[in-house]
A and B are shown apart, each in its own frame.
Chain A
Amino acid sequence: MAAGFGELLQLLADNRHLAPELILAVFALLILGLSLLVRDRRVLGWFAVLPLLLSLFLVAGMMGLLDMRLVGFSAFAGPVNSALAGGALAVDSFSLIFKFVFLSVALLVVGTSISFLSQKDRHVGEYYALILLATMGMMVVASSQNLVPLFVGIEIASLSTYALAAFRKRDILSAEAGMKYFIIGATSSAVLLYGMSILYGISGTLDIGLLSRRVGEAAWEPATIVGLSMLIGGLGFKMAAVPFHMWAPDVYEGSPTPVTVLLAAGSKKMAFAAAFKLFLVGLVAARADLSFALGIVAVLTMTVGNIVAISQTSVKRMLAYSSIAQSGYILIALAVATKTAVAGGLLHVVMHAFMKGGAFIAVAAVAWLVSSERLSGYKGLSRRSPFLAFCMAVFLLALAGIPPLSGFWSKFVLFSGAVGAGDWFVWLALAGVLNSALSLYYYARVIKYMYVDDPPADAPPVRPGPSPYTAVLVIALAATILIGLYPQPFIDVAMTAAGSLVP
């Protein structure tokens, strides 16, 4: 027994870089147990914050953002680059960036949920456990070096989020969102798995690096085309890339807002983590044909997202379409597949998590304040709640890419990567810039409603007191502004991570 225990300890020590995932898994189970004893939803919420903070701390240390030696965690001192589980998982700067994003988003989600969940909501323990599990699934995807953990991770995250989307099952919109998400998600999973099996058939390996390289070198035969298309389709569903995007607005709008944040800022990024790995490692994406196809999908995605966003009357739905458009920008990185462009894509993944997450939380706060998610409810918001209006304006301007906010830098690096790659990629950058200008139309409209227009005479009364979301909003706001003012550390990390994928 003692020997067994010793071996277990050794096993844990060897795999210590997976501690963030393990912590989340253990706490997810603990919360389930705790929820039988504790009825207070706030206590459960704070209990869910704990593992997230701990994991985020470890991840930041492994990224080299914190000096772990100072606090006695030298085992986690960064920058970490290790292969685990027989090469099936890897903890490196690429996966850590994504883990950082997932954990930050999960923190925002839990922080929002503590205020969002009401006395009427039941199964609060399960709710938090599912959030932790979904986050863990996403983190596994980011670390995967093999198709099996990749798919398993995607499924863990997906199944958890299906249930979360339908969390308020008595709310007809939420139930509908969950149902749609589940059906379309299951279809896409099938497509993705089928694509993977075809590629496995071609290459004879499940190791992503090897598989990509072999597929990249293989002849351009129908099976390859079908396999790659299905991969794009399956991941495109998660990314909400056109034409696989149609579920997204319905689900984003219908889900409880914290879950929307998790979907838009978290699980979508998981698909990018997988896509970056699958397409960039062996430089499959650099094949002219595939690159062109990805470019078309990118342009389609951003254009459709932006154009449809213009005519939305619900701010939440508008943000959903804007989220689709943002996926289009990140897709540029896949099509261009140079180091700078990929770094730009990674940066956009990070920045987008905070600005889009923040925007959705602001929507929740406004809904709490004036009981409306309609655009008309935002009229004169600057006079009814100056802080909320300011937050919303900052997030929207960041999304549009206005300097000196964070969104500017990621778009700057991304587009300059595309321009630097030359060739027809310049057109992609051009499409991106034009789309940014287009997006400003609907972002600026919200700001105009908030700052220029007067509140309508029959406006619903404003609830007194500060909004319960203030703390979470301040975090997202600080990240959006501070990263914008001093982007250098993040640009450095993104460049390192991009360098590990693309020479």
Chain B
Amino acid sequence: MMWVELAWLIPVIPLVAFPFILFFGKSIPKGGGLLAIVAVGAAFFLSLFVVVDVSQGNLPVHGGGEGEPAGGGEAVHAYESSMVWTPVPGPESPLEVGVHIDNLTCLMLIVVSLIGWLVVIYSVGYMAHEEGKPRYYAEISLFIGVMLGLVVANNFLMVFIFWELVGLCSYLLIGFWYKKPEAAAAAKKAFLVTRVGDILFLVGIIAIWNYFGTLNFGAIQEQLKTMLGEGALDVQMLTTMALLVFGGAVGKSAQFPLHVWLPDAMEGPTTVSALIHAATMVNAGVYLVARSYFLFEHAPDALLVVAWIGGITAFMAASMALVSNDIKRVLAYSTVSQLGYMMLALGAAGYSASMFHLQNHAFFKALLFLGAGSVIHSMGTNDMREMGGLGKKMRLTSLTMLVGVLAITGVVPLSGFWSKDEIIVSVFHSGNWPLFLLAVVTALLTAFYMFRLWFMTFSGKPRSKEVDHAHESPCIMTVPLLVLAAFSISTGFIGTPFWPRFQEFINWGHHGGESFGATSGMLMAVSLVVALTGALVAYLLYYRRAASPDRAVSSGAGRAVHTLLTQKYYMDHIYYWFAERVVYGFTRVCDAFDIRVIDGAVNSMSDGAVRAGGRWRRSVSGNVQHYAVGIVIGLCLLILLLKFALPPLDELLGGWPGLSRWRWWEGWGW
């Protein structure tokens, strides 16, 4: 018995905890928090054991037959086990439920369960004074369960089901304070905007099903390999499928042009922002592209689209972060931007670089959000203009935040440096100069706005009275911060160019990290210089006050750019215009058609049914003799039907089985 055979339990444990917390949360300590900590902790340790199993190799081949690893080609360590969920009439393989554990899964398992666990622990402090704790912990457990389920799933259908469920949890948790209109609106917006991507994803799944006749990752890969061998691969079809799947990723990972929901999603509790909207769920899109990379790798056009969308998103979001004064929104834009970075890396064939950044980003962004949560917890506001000088009051928070800022900025030797550098290297090697430029400029902007955030919050003089009452958060909140800070410093070391253990682990036959040479050294220097430059500018503007940033934006071009950025490139306006004019107009036409034509027909039919029902009801008199007579008459009719009615019917319709000759459904191309 190996731990990996229990992998299916990983998502199940938090899922089982969910109803218990929901119904009995009031009688569990901390409003259900304790049970959530235990359940998610169990999932984490189980994940840890599974990862140990996988990294030692030697996995059992099991069940569903598809022992074939996701890596294709070389023997990558992978474990698969599945059972039939429901058969499908037709030649396609049955729909199944199963787990697929490979190195990519392991990475996600650790990221999700560890950060989830830390966030749940932190929540005990952060949510201590809130109403509705059972609901909160139940939904968090549900989220972690379905997110882990998404990660271990072995086929597209399961991924989609969990995909929708994480969307649901996101909706519920953004709207946790549902009595606040902004929160309710933000939840709705997140749900609707991601839904656009989900539909594309669903269409993509149907296309894959039609093309391959299966949704199992391994089986699809097998077929792709055979098709490639026979030269029978329809690249255009493959590109379409890949792009449709990518559509889902665009929605979930808040990529341009569906990024608009993520900043608004900050209306939820900060813990939720840290867990769902920074460290885990938004990574699902990146994970999906990585998981279905077998579709993308033979569709260069699709990869190019991924790269461009990623690059544009990274730059746009970073530029919007420059002007925001809401501490959580800055972090949200930063998340969007970093996710764009990961997509950019995927598109530029930097598979392991992207996954490396995903891992590092999850830790330092969770740290940054929880740090921001700590600040908000003591200040009661998100507005950085009312902060300042908090460094002295909240020493631990400010220092751990500084670690996070240094990590995301990419200062050597923190984790962000190694992965960001690797992304820049892989974009450089792809030879696409505009994208390379975007990546470097984004790195510059990132350094600037992150240091701006830190200086505005923690340094200088207090800008409001609340600062005086600020105090350090309790242990239960600072300890997770310390743990995350430790991870933010250290997770980079497993993937340096000098010791690329991570790249070997995640290796997908795509290891881009060629040996450390002059080019990589130069690029490393470039990314470090860029990061320091951004930090320096922020230092001059927001610490030394060498120049007032307000003056730069008060007139002329500066002002125009500033307005463009604060209005978020007018994306929301465009969407509102489109929704109000185009969609709503079309809807009204449909509505009229529905009321006049369809409802008219249905109503007249249902009226008929209701009236007939009334008449029939009256025919049932309750008199036993009538019933007996009914039976006799029925019998006689049956006999007459069998004796006399069929032969004439037969003749009428042109000989038995004449009815069958009119195969009406064939004309419909079924």
- Which A residues fall within an 8 A CB radius of B? 179-180, 183-184, 187-188, 191, 222, 225-226, 228-230, 232-233, 236-237, 242-244, 246-247, 249-250, 288-290, 292-293, 296-297, 304, 307-312, 340, 409, 416, 420, 422-424, 426, 438, 441, 486-488, 491
Contact in complex: B637, A243 (CB < 8 Å)? yes
B86 interface contact, C-beta 8 A? yes
Residue-wise, chain B 581-620 has the 8 Å CB interface mask toward A (1 for contact) of: 0000000000000000000000000100110111011001
Which A residues are in CB contact (< 8 Å) with B84? 488
Taking the closest CB of chain B, its distance from the CB of A194, in whole angstroms, is: 10
| CA of A290 to CA of B646, assembled, Å | 10
Which A residues are in CB contact (< 8 Å) with B609? 307, 310, 438, 441
Name B646's closest neighbour in chain A (CB-CB): A289
Which B residues are in CB contact (< 8 Å) with A228? 642
Contact in complex: B642, A244 (CB < 8 Å)? no
Taking the closest CB of chain A, its distance from the CB of B105, in whole angstroms, is: 23
From A310, A423, A488, give the contact of B657 (CB < 8 A).
A423
Contact in complex: A243, B634 (CB < 8 Å)? yes
| CA of A422 to CA of B614, assembled, Å | 35
| CA of A288 to CA of B645, assembled, Å | 13
| CA of A308 to CA of B634, assembled, Å | 18
Contact in complex: A311, B614 (CB < 8 Å)? yes
DSSP majority for the B interface?
helix
Which B residues are in CB contact (< 8 Å) with A289? 642, 646
Name A236's closest neighbour in chain B (CB-CB): B634
Which A residues are in CB contact (< 8 Å) with B613? 307-311
Which B residues are in CB contact (< 8 Å) with A237? 631
Q: How many A-B residue pairs have CB under 8 A?
A: 108
B85 interface contact, C-beta 8 A? yes
B622 interface contact, C-beta 8 A? yes
B574 interface contact, C-beta 8 A? no
Contact in complex: A243, B630 (CB < 8 Å)? yes
| CA of A58 to CA of B259, assembled, Å | 58
B517 interface contact, C-beta 8 A? no
Which B residues are in CB contact (< 8 Å) with A233? 631, 634-635, 638
Contact in complex: B617, A311 (CB < 8 Å)? yes
Taking the closest CB of chain B, its distance from the CB of A376, in whole angstroms, is: 17
| CA of A213 to CA of B482, assembled, Å | 81
| CA of A242 to CA of B638, assembled, Å | 11
Which B residues are in CB contact (< 8 Å) with A288? 646, 656-657
Taking the closest CB of chain A, its distance from the CB of B86, in whole angstroms, is: 6
Contact in complex: B616, A246 (CB < 8 Å)? no
Taking the closest CB of chain B, its distance from the CB of A223, in whole angstroms, is: 11
Taking the closest CB of chain B, its distance from the CB of A145, in whole angstroms, is: 26
Taking the closest CB of chain B, its distance from the CB of A182, in whole angstroms, is: 10
- Which B residues fall within an 8 A CB radius of A? 83-87, 89, 606, 609-610, 612-614, 616-617, 620, 622, 624, 626-628, 630-631, 633-635, 637-639, 641-643, 646, 656-657, 659-660, 663-665
| CA of A422 to CA of B624, assembled, Å | 41
Contact in complex: B606, A441 (CB < 8 Å)? yes
Which B residues are in CB contact (< 8 Å) with A308? 613, 616-617, 620
Which B residues are in CB contact (< 8 Å) with A246? 620, 626-627, 630
| CA of A388 to CA of B659, assembled, Å | 47
Which B residues are in CB contact (< 8 Å) with A297? 638
Report, nearest first, the 6 A-B pairs whose CB atoms are least far apart. Answer: A243-B634, A423-B660, A311-B613, A424-B659, A310-B613, A229-B638
Contact in complex: B87, A187 (CB < 8 Å)? no
Contact in complex: A488, B87 (CB < 8 Å)? yes
Contact in complex: B616, A304 (CB < 8 Å)? yes
Taking the closest CB of chain A, its distance from the CB of B432, in whole angstroms, is: 45
Taking the closest CB of chain B, its distance from the CB of A458, in whole angstroms, is: 26
Which A residues are in CB contact (< 8 Å) with B87? 488, 491
Taking the closest CB of chain B, its distance from the CB of A98, in whole angstroms, is: 22
Which A residues are in CB contact (< 8 Å) with B610? 310-311
- What are 30 A-to-B residue pairs whose CB atoms are below 8 Å? A180-B627, A183-B624, A188-B631, A226-B639, A228-B642, A230-B635, A233-B631, A233-B634, A237-B631, A243-B630, A246-B626, A246-B627, A247-B624, A288-B656, A292-B646, A293-B646, A307-B613, A307-B616, A308-B613, A308-B616, A310-B610, A310-B613, A311-B610, A409-B86, A423-B657, A423-B660, A424-B657, A441-B606, A488-B84, A488-B87
Contact in complex: B660, A424 (CB < 8 Å)? yes
- Known A423-B657, A488-B85; 17 more pairs at CB < 8 Å: A180-B627, A228-B642, A230-B635, A233-B634, A243-B631, A243-B633, A246-B620, A304-B616, A307-B609, A307-B613, A307-B616, A308-B617, A310-B613, A311-B617, A312-B617, A424-B657, A424-B660
Taking the closest CB of chain A, its distance from the CB of B604, in whole angstroms, is: 14
Which A residues are in CB contact (< 8 Å) with B622? 250
| CA of A311 to CA of B639, assembled, Å | 31
| CA of A191 to CA of B628, assembled, Å | 11
Contact in complex: B641, A184 (CB < 8 Å)? no
**Most A C-beta atoms less than 10 A away, residue of B89, B628, B634, B643:** B634
Contact in complex: B635, A191 (CB < 8 Å)? yes
Which B residues are in CB contact (< 8 Å) with A296? 641
Which A residues are in CB contact (< 8 Å) with B626? 246
From B620, B633, B642, B660, give the contact of A229 (CB < 8 A).
B642
**Most B C-beta atoms less than 10 A away, residue of A246, A420, A422:** A246
Taking the closest CB of chain A, its distance from the CB of B195, in whole angstroms, is: 20
Name A487's closest neighbour in chain B (CB-CB): B86
Which A residues are in CB contact (< 8 Å) with B627? 180, 184, 246-247
| CA of A338 to CA of B660, assembled, Å | 16
| CA of A244 to CA of B634, assembled, Å | 7
Contact in complex: A225, B89 (CB < 8 Å)? no
Taking the closest CB of chain A, its distance from the CB of B603, in whole angstroms, is: 12
Which B residues are in CB contact (< 8 Å) with A225? 639, 642-643
Taking the closest CB of chain B, its distance from the CB of A444, in whole angstroms, is: 12
Q: Taking A310-B609, A420-B89, A438-B609 as contacts, is the C-beta distance between A293 and B631 under 8 angstroms?
A: no
Which B residues are in CB contact (< 8 Å) with A307? 609, 612-613, 616
| CA of A225 to CA of B637, assembled, Å | 12
Which B residues are in CB contact (< 8 Å) with A180? 624, 627
From A226, A292, A422, A491, give the contact of B86 (CB < 8 A).
A491
Which B residues are in CB contact (< 8 Å) with A416? 89
Which B residues are in CB contact (< 8 Å) with A226? 639
Which B residues are in CB contact (< 8 Å) with A230? 635
Which A residues are in CB contact (< 8 Å) with B614? 311
Contact in complex: B635, A229 (CB < 8 Å)? yes
Taking the closest CB of chain B, its distance from the CB of A493, in whole angstroms, is: 13
| CA of A305 to CA of B633, assembled, Å | 19
Name B610's closest neighbour in chain A (CB-CB): A310
| CA of A243 to CA of B635, assembled, Å | 8
| CA of A491 to CA of B94, assembled, Å | 13
| CA of A409 to CA of B88, assembled, Å | 11
Contact in complex: B631, A244 (CB < 8 Å)? yes
| CA of A288 to CA of B616, assembled, Å | 31
Which A residues are in CB contact (< 8 Å) with B86? 409, 487-488, 491
Which A residues are in CB contact (< 8 Å) with B642? 225, 228-229, 289-290, 293
| CA of A222 to CA of B646, assembled, Å | 14
| CA of A62 to CA of B622, assembled, Å | 44
| CA of A307 to CA of B663, assembled, Å | 29
| CA of A293 to CA of B640, assembled, Å | 10
| CA of A228 to CA of B624, assembled, Å | 25
| CA of A191 to CA of B639, assembled, Å | 13
**Most B C-beta atoms less than 10 A away, residue of A304, A311, A420:** A311
Taking the closest CB of chain B, its distance from the CB of A208, in whole angstroms, is: 21
Name B621's closest neighbour in chain A (CB-CB): A246
Name B649's closest neighbour in chain A (CB-CB): A292
Contact in complex: B665, A426 (CB < 8 Å)? yes
Which A residues are in CB contact (< 8 Å) with B89? 340, 416, 420
Which B residues are in CB contact (< 8 Å) with A304? 616
Which B residues are in CB contact (< 8 Å) with A222? 643
| CA of A290 to CA of B643, assembled, Å | 10
| CA of A191 to CA of B638, assembled, Å | 13
Name B636's closest neighbour in chain A (CB-CB): A229
Name A290's closest neighbour in chain B (CB-CB): B642
Taking the closest CB of chain B, its distance from the CB of A345, in whole angstroms, is: 16
